[in-house]
Structure 1
Amino acid sequence: MPSHPTVIQRLKQLWLRLTEPHPTLQTPEERRQVRFLISLLLALTLLIIVLVPLWIILLDPKPLFWQETPFQIGIITSLGLVFAYALSRTRYYSGAALLAVAIIIINVFIAAIPDRSWTEILVFDYLLVAILLSSIFFSLSTTVIIAGACLVGMLFFPIFVPTIPPDEIVVRPVSFILMGSVLILLTTHHRNLLEKDRQAALVESENKYRSLLEQAADGICIADAQGNYELVNPKACQMLGYSEAEFLQLNIRDLVPAEELAEKPLRLDELLAGKAITTERHLRRKDGSLLLVEISASMIEGGRLQAIIRDITERKQAEEALRQSEERYRAVVENQTELVIRSLPDTTVTFVNEAYCQFFGLTRSQIIGRKYLELIPQPAREATQRHIADLMAQPRIAKDEHETLLPDGQIVWQQWIDRPILDAQGKVIEFLSVGRDITERKKAEEALVKSQQRLATAQAIAHFGNWELNPKSGEGYWSEEMFHIHSRDPRRGPPSFEEFVAYIHPEDRAGLLEFHAQIMRSREPLSHDYRINRPDGSLRYLNTVAYSVWDEAGQLVHLAGTTLDITERKRVEAEIQRLNEELEQRVLERTAQLEAVNKEMEAFSYSVSHDLRAPLRAIDGFSQALLEDYADKLDEDGQDYLQRVRKATQRMGRLIDDMLGLSRITRSEMHWESVNLSAIVDAIAAELQQTEPQRSAEFVITPGVSVEGDPPLLRMALENLIGNAWKFTQKQPQARIEFGQIQEQDKLICFIRDNGVGFDMSYADKLFGPFQRLHTRHEFEGSGVGLATVQRVITRHGGRIWAESAPGQGATFYFIL
């Protein structure tokens, strides 16, 4: 809301209106001089109006005070001054000044007439006031005339007023007025000389000012307090399309659109109060179009208003273009998935994009104003400081990679592209940086370095190197191990093809060159063995696998391959060949020995089968004949003895059969085929149940268990295992025998489990020995050869067998084929 003027401001504005010169006065000097004259006349008039009543009140006024000379003089003077004031407001201000001087002179001479109780001859001193006013408002010659007239009047005054002695006039008043006039005239003359110099300087200054006005790139206007234009420069006329004469007929309000004037008042009261104002407005041109300008207005000398008008159309267009460009830039920056940041040289953040905020999980207010250097751990922080210092010294676009600490404590790797922003002197004032998360890349690089290190280590351990060769340029690459294999200094670099051929053993060079020619033609990898002579004189055997690389046009690009030091392998192969030859000889010898042993075993088996069985059959037969023919002659003890003899011979026969069967297992030829173990177990179970139908027994058999093996041998093994389970569960009221298969890693394991008497695992090592028994013959019959037979069958199938048990908790036998 506009502020209300104070009383002093209102009085000041009233005084300015009362002392305003006539509008026809154009020059600032005339207007200033006339304003002084008007102010002086107005002040004298007000002073007399106040002093005359005060004199009447204070100096014992008489009843007929209007007849008193002071009152009459005051009235006449007041009327004269009012008339002079009114005349000064017209173009005839010189007459007003002359009238004021005349009024003063006349009043002085009237006051000097004797017979006045208040009159003194010293009243002539006030003539200096009239002379002083003349020196201000008139020329020097006019002032001389007025001063001379006053002196002449004083000299002739005693003639018209005889009561005044002439010497009183001459001695003091005339001499005082004469001296004062001379002083005033000299001062006026000096002032005129200074005024001429000042006027000359003013003219020069005005010429310069006018030249500046005419050449100024901005419009310049000067208006009075009411807004009427008094001065305009050519640029202002050009901007608004008016001639100078047309422009000077306008008021400020004529140029401002009415609707804008209602929204934005002119604020002339603020300007007149001494406040400078800069604002943007539309001004209406002569053709009716609107011009957007920036106006800088202020009050200048004489209470006038000066305005500097600048056409800001292009600037506004540029600002709008810049705004749109910044919006597009901001949109691009905000939509970037990469991190964007602006920072000062001390790393204080001034701007970040949304991607930066999301990456760190912070808001802009939490980031801007902080130093991003705080997010970089040591010693990467010192490296970043050196990077910034380097860019400050040599501004350029540069890349920096360092670790960054996230708010959650996680450390990540970032890559930044830093672009310095320079001022007009080329000094770095800010950095624009674009970054990305390269943590995964760093991990990959670290993994690659470790892989390369492991590869180099593996190549060193395996004496294995890789190489590349450009057949056109002859340039090549050797891994570190290639230099070691050839005992070549890596600082020399890979050898040329001719140098490489020189390493080859002379007997192998032709073969290697032929291999090289094949590789140049082939599109498949090829392998070749050759020998090299190393610089230290040692001979090495090498194997190389090489392949060729071709481009889309079918042109050979380069050759690549691997080289393996096979010297030790060659030595081992030679040693193996020697050992194989020795082994073959030993095998032949051992085979002959085994054939002899087998023949002896066959002879022994035949002897056992025939020579031992005949006596046993005779003993058993004669014992049976005695029991049958001489039973009535033998008592019970004799018959018992013969029964025991028969049982012993029969048991001895079974032992002989088992021994022969055990020996045949190791000698019989195996015939491999698919065998359904589940079907064999099922058949054995049925046979056992038929032999003892009174027993209560449950068989649980997993169907479809098949293996590769010899059917008769496998049936023999299963008969022994199932038979043992049947035997050792005979004392159980409800026997349970289970056959199945389990998988352990990549192996299939068969098992037979029962709920029989079990055994102590401390005797497990005796289970599979021939004729080993863990129970007495009185508890469970048997020869002790069954499990030994099973183990030999499983062993011949390349498998193994083992058992798990505990007394009274049954037993489980596992086997793998």
Structure 2
Amino acid sequence: MLLRSFLIRLVWLCLLPLLMLAVYMAVETIKAERQERDTEALNLARNLATAIDQNLRARIGALNILAVSPLIDDPARWPELYQEAKGFLQSFGSHVILADAQMQMRFNTREPYGTALPRLPRPSGQAAVPTAFATGEPAVGDMFVGPVSKGELVAIAVPSLREGRQPLVVLTVVEASQYRKRLEQVALPAGWAVSLIDGKGDAIARRAPDPDEAPAGDDAERFVVKSELSPWSVVLEIPGEVYRAPLVSAGVGLAIGVLVATLTGAVGGLFASRRLGAAVAALADSGADGRAPAGITEIAAVRRMLDRSAERRKEAETARLASERRFRATFEQAAVGIALVGPDGRWLKVNPKLCEIVGYGHDELLTKSFQDITHPDDLASDLAQARQVLDGGAESYSMEKRYRRKDGSSVWVNLTVALVRDEEGEPDYFISVVEDIQRRKEAEAALKEREAALKEAQRLAALGSWSWNRDTGEQVWSAELYRIYGRDPALPPVPQSEAHGYFSPEGWAQITAEADAALATGLPFECDAEIRRADGGLRWVTIRGEASRAADGRVTGLHGTVQDITERKQAAEALRELNASLELRVEQRTAALTAANQELDTFAYAVSHDLRAPLRAMNGFSQALVEDYGDCLDGEARRYLDQICIASRKMADLIDGVLALSRSARGELRHDTIDVSGMAAGILAELARVEPERTVATEIEPGLTLWGDPRMLDAALRNLLGNAWKYTARTAAPLIRVHAGELDGRPAVCVSDNGAGFDMAYADRLFQPFRRLHRQDEFPGIGIGLATVQRIVRRHGGEIRATAAPGQGATFCFTFAEQDAAA
């Protein structure tokens, strides 16, 4: 067989697989074109559904803020809630409604607050409000006609469920036209149509090439994406002829291309076979005489070039892998957070440091967007700057913002963002670098607090600070120093050449001498001086200073404080004057006190002898009259005599009380350590012996002691325990306790009972002489005991207080001065 015929057959044999491959590739290309078209359509529908879900999520988040507001719990504050709901209108362009479980609208921001409103309609399909009440979760409903606006609306409802009040729901109604406008913004290929369908199949919004065109027929390709937050669906429709046109065009083009390629290959193969046959023949001829056939050198050169190219590709691949490893190590081990973020805000790739900063796991963070974890107060600024970069107004931006960590806390970060664009100049992704600056922010806040505290401390202490640089002559004054000198803070500090005008010549000479010595020796100084303020007022100050040094130890100036001590000087002067007259006043007051005590003793003697004698005579004659002539007296006369006896005895008790009250306020106190527990036990035992028919439980805390006059303390305890014994007389299970307590941080002794008690509204009468809180027929007494106790306690430098409730008993706690204070 001739080489030419063999080569022709070889060409056709080679072309046949290529032809089959071309047909296969044509079919696969058409499939790929169809799959690409389907993917494009499905992605477009998904993106639109995602955008609608993000819009719903933002509205639900804003409604949830209103639903959890404390204003919603108080109907009286619903007008305030109404005003906050107005803010929702400004942010989202839709009105807010508050309704109850009976579907009755409480307010609607479309109408003025207080306007009578109808009940919410219950549309067919899924209704937002009933669904929200039934599930306790936010709900999105199907389209309906609004009772107020009369337009096509959709409702978004967030329930507000609290114990102790009726369920409420906060909802917003969004006009369907808003979603039509949103569809108008979607870039659709020619002939495509897109619809937003609610749960019952009605079109909330639709965009088609011809607005009046009916939905495509059964041969149209439909792509449906369900909403995650609502019963809605996004439906993308491509008419059959529009859908098939690119496929048919591609098929025809490929068929023509295959045919042309086949013919070209056949013709070229025939031509090449001739050339190759001639070359092979020439090669055969050249091999006959031992020479290399023509073209062998070029083939060898090509082989060497391919070998070198393979080596270079291998080196480039090695370098690429090393670069990828370095990038991966830098990304994963960076000391700052690094992330790749999609234009829609979704995290595409994050490093461990960023996960550590925001407190989310790697996979968990990839399911969120930066909007989800950005603090609400910082989100608007972040989105505005990101939009500016996306629009080409800037290449990058930096800002300080807060992220919401997974645990709910906030963390401050410094965010730097740059945009990467694809080959066509369209936004591809953001590169975000996140630096944790929480500690710096906390330090700045702490520094501000310390600065404010220092300024307040200087103001309270009337302490101003100053510094002076000898080399530059620069002075720095604090605000308090301006106040001390009475100088306008808008003016600079007083120049050295004018400073002497604030002092007397002697004071200025002392200050300059001290300052010069400090500059020469580096030692601190302190001196007092009187200054004349700019307003003419005179003040005394203490000036303190010490040397300021450079890094090499050289004295470069002075710094220190000026403290206003005018009040201290005035107090010292007043103290000197007071001390000068103190001895005279003590003598005068001692004489007056002695005279008063003498008069009080005289009065007590008169009460004890002069008043008691008539009372004893009155009582004795009354008793004699009863004994001698009792049988001659009728019942009413006997009652009169009994009242005379009772009155005389009461008068005697009053005289005894007055004398006890008088003795409690005078007489020398003899201090000693008193066993309060033992004294109380003895008094209660005496009370029990006097009334053996009563059973009273007592509790006395052991080890109670006080430093005071035993005679006085015995009188005080007898009054307190006697009252407790008296006022538990009508209690079923009476209990009297003597125990330790506390008054204003000082140890106290307390006497408690579970008797009649009293109303604390009348507690101010307790310690007033002759004032009682109970009727005489309920609990007899003269009203002197607690007044006597109070005087005894106060003589010992203590306080007494009472707490009680009607029918629940009373507690009296008192303190004595400590032993050192009493001494």
TM-score w.r.t. structure 1 length?
Answer: 0.50
Measured at CA, do residues 459 and 229 of structure 1 come closer, stay the same or move farther in structure 2, by a change above 3 Å?
same
**Contact between 1:546 and 1:561, CA under 8 Å: does it hold in 2?**
yes
- The residue number in structure 1 matching 2:794 is 795
**Contact between 2:405 and 2:411, CA under 8 Å: does it hold in 1?**
no
- The residue number in structure 2 matching 1:737 is 736
The structure 1 residue matched to 2:14, chosen from 5, 8, 11, is 5
**Contact between 1:418 and 1:433, CA under 8 Å: does it hold in 2?**
yes
Measured at CA, do residues 775 and 386 of structure 1 come closer, stay the same or move farther in structure 2, by a change above 3 Å?
closer
> What percentage of residue pairs aligned between the two structures are identical?
35
Mapped to 2, the partners of 1:4 and 1:676 lie a distance apart of 127
- The residue number in structure 2 matching 1:705 is 704
Q: Does 1:786 align with 2:785?
A: yes
Question: 1:690-769 maps to which residues of 2 (within 5 A)?
Answer: 690-730=689-729, 735-743=734-742, 746-748=745-747, 750-756=749-755, 766-769=765-768
Question: 1:507-586 maps to which residues of 2 (within 5 A)?
Answer: 507-513=506-512, 516=515, 528-535=527-534, 537-544=536-543, 560-567=559-566
- The residue number in structure 1 matching 2:335 is 337
Q: Does 1:23 align with 2:282?
A: yes
Greater helix fraction, Structure 1 or Structure 2: 1
Give 1:662 deviation, angstroms: 1.9
Describe the superposition over 1:67-114 as per-residue Cα deviations: whole angstroms up to 9, x where unpaired: xxxxxxxxxxxxxxxxxxxxxx999xxxxxxxxxxxxxxxxxxxxxxx
Q: Does 1:403 align with 2:401?
A: yes
- The residue number in structure 2 matching 1:682 is 681
Give 1:342 deviation, angstroms: 7.9
Mapped to 2, the partners of 1:550 and 1:611 lie a distance apart of 88
- SS of 1:667's equivalent in the other structure is coil
**Contact between 2:334 and 2:353, CA under 8 Å: does it hold in 1?**
yes
Describe the superposition over 1:288-318 as per-residue Cα deviations: whole angstroms up to 9, x where unpaired: xxxxxx52xxxxxxxxxxxxx6467578557
Describe the superposition over 1:727-771 as per-residue Cα deviations: whole angstroms up to 9, x where unpaired: 444566754322223447735554333355556777755543434
- The residue number in structure 2 matching 1:106 is none
Give 1:664 deviation, angstroms: 1.9
* Equivalent residue pairs, number: 538
Give 1:331 deviation, angstroms: 1.2
Mapped to 1, the partners of 2:391 and 2:468 lie a distance apart of 44
- Greater relative contact order, per chain length (Cα 8 Å cut-off, separation 6+): 2
Give 1:699 deviation, angstroms: 1.5
- The residue number in structure 2 matching 1:448 is 447
- The residue number in structure 1 matching 2:22 is none
Measured at CA, do residues 757 and 496 of structure 1 come closer, stay the same or move farther in structure 2, by a change above 3 Å?
closer
**Contact between 1:401 and 1:413, CA under 8 Å: does it hold in 2?**
no
Measured at CA, do residues 484 and 223 of structure 1 come closer, stay the same or move farther in structure 2, by a change above 3 Å?
farther
Mapped to 2, the partners of 1:573 and 1:677 lie a distance apart of 44
Question: 1:305-320 maps to which residues of 2 (within 5 A)?
Answer: 310=308, 317=315, 320=318
Amino acid at match of 1:698: A
Mapped to 2, the partners of 1:725 and 1:345 lie a distance apart of 81
Measured at CA, do residues 25 and 392 of structure 1 come closer, stay the same or move farther in structure 2, by a change above 3 Å?
farther
Give 1:335 deviation, angstroms: 0.8
Give 1:530 deviation, angstroms: 2.4
- The residue number in structure 1 matching 2:658 is 659
- SS of 1:668's equivalent in the other structure is coil
RMSD: 6.1
**Contact between 1:342 and 1:432, CA under 8 Å: does it hold in 2?**
yes
TM-score w.r.t. structure 2 length?
Answer: 0.50
Amino acid at match of 2:529: Y
Give 1:603 deviation, angstroms: 2.6
Question: 1:220-369 maps to which residues of 2 (within 5 A)?
Answer: 229-231=296-298, 295=306, 310=308, 317=315, 320=318, 323-324=321-322, 326-340=324-338, 353-356=351-354, 359=357
**Contact between 1:391 and 1:420, CA under 8 Å: does it hold in 2?**
no
Give 1:599 deviation, angstroms: 2.1
Describe the superposition over 1:373-423 as per-residue Cα deviations: whole angstroms up to 9, x where unpaired: x98744466778999999989xxxx994433666989975433679999xx
- SS of 2:335's equivalent in the other structure is coil
**Contact between 2:479 and 2:489, CA under 8 Å: does it hold in 1?**
yes
Structure 1 portions without partners, runs of 5+ = 32-88, 92-221, 237-251, 256-282, 284-293, 296-308, 422-428
- The residue number in structure 1 matching 2:127 is none
Mapped to 1, the partners of 2:775 and 2:352 lie a distance apart of 90
Measured at CA, do residues 651 and 526 of structure 1 come closer, stay the same or move farther in structure 2, by a change above 3 Å?
farther
**Contact between 1:742 and 1:749, CA under 8 Å: does it hold in 2?**
yes
**Contact between 2:549 and 2:557, CA under 8 Å: does it hold in 1?**
yes
Measured at CA, do residues 773 and 413 of structure 1 come closer, stay the same or move farther in structure 2, by a change above 3 Å?
closer
**Contact between 2:504 and 2:531, CA under 8 Å: does it hold in 1?**
yes
Give 1:713 deviation, angstroms: 1.4
Describe the superposition over 1:510-531 as per-residue Cα deviations: whole angstroms up to 9, x where unpaired: 4434655787799999764322
Mapped to 2, the partners of 1:765 and 1:561 lie a distance apart of 54
Give 1:334 deviation, angstroms: 1.4
Give 1:364 deviation, angstroms: 9.8
Moved more, 400-409 or 697-706: 400-409
Give 1:669 deviation, angstroms: 2.5
**Contact between 2:413 and 2:437, CA under 8 Å: does it hold in 1?**
yes
Give 1:794 deviation, angstroms: 2.4
**Contact between 1:387 and 1:400, CA under 8 Å: does it hold in 2?**
no
- SS of 1:704's equivalent in the other structure is coil
Mapped to 2, the partners of 1:520 and 1:448 lie a distance apart of 32
Mapped to 2, the partners of 1:602 and 1:378 lie a distance apart of 86
- The residue number in structure 2 matching 1:505 is 504
- The residue number in structure 2 matching 1:243 is none
- The residue number in structure 2 matching 1:52 is none
Give 1:441 deviation, angstroms: 2.1
Give 1:338 deviation, angstroms: 0.7
- The residue number in structure 2 matching 1:597 is 596
Mapped to 2, the partners of 1:598 and 1:232 lie a distance apart of 140
Mapped to 2, the partners of 1:21 and 1:579 lie a distance apart of 137
**Contact between 2:740 and 2:747, CA under 8 Å: does it hold in 1?**
yes
Mapped to 2, the partners of 1:736 and 1:346 lie a distance apart of 76
Mapped to 1, the partners of 2:718 and 2:332 lie a distance apart of 83
- SS of 1:696's equivalent in the other structure is coil
Structure 2 portions without partners, runs of 5+ = 1-10, 17-265, 421-427, 817-823
- SS of 2:282's equivalent in the other structure is coil
**Contact between 1:548 and 1:560, CA under 8 Å: does it hold in 2?**
yes
Mapped to 2, the partners of 1:777 and 1:494 lie a distance apart of 77
Mapped to 1, the partners of 2:429 and 2:772 lie a distance apart of 97
Give 1:336 deviation, angstroms: 1.4
**Contact between 1:357 and 1:364, CA under 8 Å: does it hold in 2?**
no
Describe the superposition over 1:596-627 as per-residue Cα deviations: whole angstroms up to 9, x where unpaired: 22222223334444555667778889999x89
Measured at CA, do residues 759 and 455 of structure 1 come closer, stay the same or move farther in structure 2, by a change above 3 Å?
closer
